[in-house]
Copies of this chain bind each other. A is one copy, B any other.
């Protein structure tokens, strides 16, 4: 296998990382919604933690997307 073929396979494998990050983001919001529906009065107080947790979790998926794009177009 030469390098021009390996980078295309590598980009496909990097897409697995995006899907795995989506599991993390989905689980994060799932538990927030579960707790917020149990105690709606406190939901707004935990909004900053939700957004911060979402941002750092989504960032890992975006980094995997960046790796895929780098493999496709930059390397």
Contacts and interface: CB of A to CB of B under 8 A. Distances in A.
Tally of this chain's copies:
3
Contact of A19 (B17, B28, B32): B17
Contacts of A16: 13-17, 19-20, 64
B1 A5 contact: yes
Interface residues of A, number: 63
Interface string A1-43: 1111111111111111111111111111111111111111011
A49 B25 contact: no
A18 B56 contact: no
Contacts of A35: 33-38
Contact of A43 (B8, B14, B20, B46): B46
